[in-house]
Chain A
Amino acid sequence: MSTTKDTIPGAEYTGTRVEQSTREIEEMANQSYKYGWATEIESETFEPGLNEDIIARLSAKKEEPAWLLDWRIKAFRQWQTLTEPTWPNVSYPKIDYQSQRYYSAPKREKKQLSSLDEVDKELLETFEKLGIPLDEQKRLAGVAVDAVFDSVSVATTHKEILKKKGIIFCSFSEAVHECPELIQKYLGSVVPANDNFFAALNSAVFSDGSFCYIPKGVKCPMDLSTYFRINAAETGQFERTLIISDEGAYVNYLEGCTAPMRDENQLHAAVVELVALDNATINYSTVQNWYAGDKTGKGGIYNFVTKRGKCQGVNSRISWTQVETGSAITWKYPSCLLMGDNSVGEFYSVAVSNNYQQADTGTKMIHMGRNTKSTIISKTISAGHGNNSYRGQVMVMPKAANARNYTQCDSLLIGNQCGAHTFPYIEVRNNTSSVEHEASTSKISEDQLFYCKQRGIGTEDAISMVVNGFCKEVFDHLPMEFAVEASNLLKVSLEGSVG
């Protein structure tokens, strides 16, 4: 269990976890995707198309320094030489990158907002509707939030408290102006611009995102969170997150996302880079709930994301926890480069694909330092016509003496039209390491269902219970409110998957 409760001042006790989740599940009962509305807000949008001119305009709009524009242009040129990957186990019609819009932002009069009062009322209402309290006075969640609406960051809360500790938590655009030396040092240091097709695209056109720097020896007093929202039609969202945990620092980071229901597919190609120096820890949790498309597979978000963490220092630790429920297609491999001696990488994932959703997700653990450890727990659930693939790589380099890896990937199949696939790659280059990999695929056991039904629990509820139990190992690594949201999401995602 995460230590959220200890770290949030004023978090109220609201019943046991079981009571709470039962209550929440009831509320969610006959609900489908509840974030599917769009906000009518005046926004400034570029015309569709992608070329060096668009990038220059985007950069100018954000008043970026010359080096960043150069970096973008270089990435764009590299992107043009790359081809879209065809190896993932997903299929989708060819994306026309020229018909996308690469900039959309809510219009606002003033350039810089000095306080939340100046944030557009409609925007605040939007986030309120999403359950993201931006209003600092309320202090409901006790979590510092950076909210990103389409391409720009609209508000960051709790800035003052963080500032006292020396923590920098702001939008990426602000960070470019406020601490350019950190950005210049770390941008692209984990995911180089030419890393892959989508990372290169992101590097060329990334609009905004979150930046976070935890100074030496500081334990971040609250969980940091970014909330991403796609609103405008025909736009892609390309945000970039960079988190640096300096020596001995500690941070919990949460990321949430939603989008309106639209018939056409929208592209989300983000890059997340984490850097952990000596003795530093970063826990990164995602509850991904973009719009998954309707029952026939129409619409939904293409979530093509590159996430990578670098355990650069000794004894550093990076932990990824993700709940992937709401994309038409997910293509995502949060990875750890375990460079420092004794560094630790963890990956806990639940991926659900119902209806016509496709997910190809997993992780890479690259062991380079001595005594490095990694744990991979992946739970995939396929229902309806969904297809779910785990793709993972565990690589132990010759110098990574005494490296340890434990991998467990379990798949659950619900219904006879879905598919579950496992593609693990284990590459070991020395003999002091030990690598274990286990995987299983099965359906929900008749015995368990029978047991529940015998005690008067309906089929859907029984399945929900079994599925929640199946995912428990992963949910245990999520902070409390995320765990509740995740288990609700799971219920909604699997609704109607049993006849």
Chain B
Amino acid sequence: MPEVQEQGVDKARFLEGVERFRETGPAWARAIRAKSATRFNELELPNRKMEDWRFTNIAPILRTPFNLVAGEAAVDVSTLAPFRYGGGVAELVFIDGQFAPQFSRAAEGVTSLNLSEALTSHEVLIEPHLGRYLNGTPNPFAALNSAFLADGAFVHVAKDAAFAGPIYVLYVNTKRDNTVTYPRNLIVLESGAKADVVESHVALDGASRYLTNSITEVAVGENAALHLYKLIHESGEAYHLATTKVRVDRGGSFKSHAISQSGKIIRNEIGVQLDGEGAHTSLHGLYMTSGDQLVDNPTAIEHAKPHCTSWIGYKGVLDDKSHAVFSGKVYVHRVAQKTDSNQLNQNMVLSDKATIDTKPLLEIFADDVKCTHGATVGRPPEELVFYFRTRGMSEAMALGMLTYGFADEVVNQIEIDPVRTRLEQFVFNKYSPIPA
């Protein structure tokens, strides 16, 4: 692994084309862009000397000059079919980062539209939230996304409204090498509201090399509940850098499932602030790495108020020469008494060449708390393989079934049927030696 990050990477290159968005949107949105561009210039580019990037070498991303997408790609309904889910639900589709109204659908009971339009039509709903949950994150790529803030999904669920069907947000990348998109999502649940959102990133071409730099901001109001599913199924050569920042109010609940299916380098950061008494969050994740993939899942939960509960459960299956990184940080403020927080990171390593770095952190300043964390790294247990062998199954089959079972523990918690079914199939095909 190269120890030294790219020297002399020209920062100005990252901001090329930023002026294209300068004049769009309300004044405060323009201010966010300008401020973020300045902030990007102030921040150091990620390198291995920085604690947050210690194990994550993103030199290939820094080395590649990515351009903004120009022009529209012609995509028809049949090409998109395998990536969409049926049912009468709200749907927002973006092709190469640009909103595709012809594939998108609105639904009763929820406000879902693309952000650039919402910035004018729903300005009062957006202004109090947009850019407010990033809390001065030191990640320069988050600053870069804000500097290019243009479009993405805007979902708003009104007070006490429970939207039954999931809201699908689909980002499709066509074959466009060396391009970058900046999806920017904002999900706001007013008090007592409930919704499920599925954010998926897919590629039409399995070999194209592009960068997705996305931000999702989430505000969960009092007693509101959001379940966010994030499916990262990028092209095998693509890069995905994402930041999700969440604030949960009193009695609110934020659940997430983050599934990394493919992508050359994936860094999917989730930060949740429990900012009201009795708030809850549970973050689930599954990463399935192979080839020379690098998948990094930094998670952070901040217990800012008393009586909050949290759970982090991430599982990983590593194969070939892949490298996975996990860090889970639980920070308990002095006032956050009666915190109950649990964290578990389990890794199954299938190949001798794979590398796993896991870092479960606890920082606790309150005394009346219960916090635990655990991490494991290993192969499928010998005894279980033996059990299968005594019943006449080959070792390959035993390993395949055990791996499938291990990964499926995360997938089978997914409550949306079509999403779960499709993912279970994916996991099954990937690990089970039994022909489907």
Contacts and interface: CB of A to CB of B under 8 A. Distances in A.
A87 B371 CA distance: 24
Interface stretch (A27-35, A42-50, A428-436, A476-484): A428-436
Contact of A425 (B349, B359, B369, B374): B359
B10 interface: no
B407 to A, nearest CB: 16
B52 interface: no
Interface string A80-124: 000000010000000000000000000000000000000000000
Interface string A396-431: 001000000000000101111111111111111111
B372 A439 contact: yes
B367 A443 contact: yes
A479 to B, nearest CB: 32
A129 interface: no
A434 B379 contact: yes
Identify the 4 closest CB pairs spanning chains A and B, nearest first: A434-B378, A431-B349, A413-B367, A422-B362
A442 interface: yes
A95 to B, nearest CB: 24
A424 B356 contact: no
Given A430-B349, A440-B370, 9 more contacts: A417-B334, A419-B365, A422-B360, A422-B373, A424-B360, A427-B355, A428-B377, A431-B318, A440-B371
Contacts of B347: 428
B71 to A, nearest CB: 45
Contacts of B353: 398
A414 B378 contact: no
A437 interface: yes
A413 B369 contact: yes
Contacts of A441: 362, 364, 369-372
Interface in B338-397: 347, 349-379
A426 B349 CA distance: 14
19 contacts: A413-B368, A419-B363, A420-B362, A422-B362, A423-B361, A424-B359, A424-B360, A427-B357, A428-B356, A431-B351, A432-B379, A433-B377, A435-B375, A435-B377, A437-B360, A440-B373, A441-B372, A442-B369, A443-B367
A438 interface: yes
Nearest to B337: A416
A487 B337 CA distance: 29
A437 B358 CA distance: 10
Given A413-B364, A428-B356, A440 B372 contact: yes
A425 B55 CA distance: 11
A431 B352 contact: yes
B368 A416 contact: yes
Interface in B284-316: none
A143 to B, nearest CB: 38
A155 to B, nearest CB: 45
A426 to B, nearest CB: 5
B399 to A, nearest CB: 11
A426 B328 CA distance: 12
Contacts of A432: 352, 379
B352 A424 contact: no
B371 A426 contact: no
Contacts of B355: 427-429
A247 to B, nearest CB: 32
Contacts of B379: 431-432, 434
Contacts of A435: 375-378
Nearest to B339: A441
Contacts, number: 114
A422 B329 CA distance: 9
A398 B353 CA distance: 8
Contacts of B363: 419, 421-422
Contacts of A411: 362, 364
Contacts of A437: 358, 360, 373-376
Contacts of A87: 51
**SS class, residues of chain A in contact with chain B:** strand
Contacts of A426: 356-359, 375, 377
Pick the most buried of A424, A428, A432, A433: most chain B CB atoms within 10 A of its CB: A428
A431 B357 contact: no
Interface string A45-73: 00000000000000000000000000000
A423 B349 CA distance: 23
A380 to B, nearest CB: 11
A471 B51 CA distance: 32
A85 to B, nearest CB: 13
Contacts of A419: 363-365
A411 B366 CA distance: 12
B385 to A, nearest CB: 13
Nearest to A393: B359
B382 to A, nearest CB: 10
Interface in A272-308: none
Nearest to A387: B365
Interface string B316-334: 0010000000000000001
Contacts of B351: 431
Contacts of B51: 87
Interface in B73-127: none
Contacts of A414: 367
B359 A420 contact: no
A430 B358 CA distance: 14
B367 A416 contact: yes
Interface in A156-210: none
Contact of A415 (B357, B367, B376): B367
Contacts of B367: 413-416, 418, 443
A255 B357 CA distance: 34
A101 B352 CA distance: 52
A23 B377 CA distance: 45
A433 B358 CA distance: 14
B369 A443 contact: yes
Interface in A430-460: 430-443
A168 B350 CA distance: 49
Contacts of B376: 434-437
A411 B371 CA distance: 9
Nearest to A438: B374
A422 B331 CA distance: 11
A412 B60 CA distance: 44
A414 B368 CA distance: 9
A9 to B, nearest CB: 45
A437 B378 CA distance: 12
Contacts of A433: 377-378
A434 B376 CA distance: 7
Contacts of B378: 433-435
Among B318, B337, B362: residue with most chain A CB under 10 A: B362
Contacts of A440: 370-373
Nearest to B326: A426
A434 B372 CA distance: 20
B359 to A, nearest CB: 5
B377 to A, nearest CB: 4
Nearest to A445: B370
A435 B358 CA distance: 11
A418 B368 CA distance: 11
A416 B366 contact: yes
Nearest to A411: B364
B335 to A, nearest CB: 9
A438 B372 contact: yes
Contacts of A398: 352-353
A416 B373 CA distance: 21
A419 B347 CA distance: 29
Contacts of A427: 55, 355-357
Contacts of B361: 421-424
Contacts of A439: 360, 362, 372-374
Contacts of B362: 411, 420-422, 439, 441
A442 B368 CA distance: 7
Contacts of B369: 413, 441-443
A442 B377 contact: no
A429 B354 CA distance: 6
A431 B289 CA distance: 14
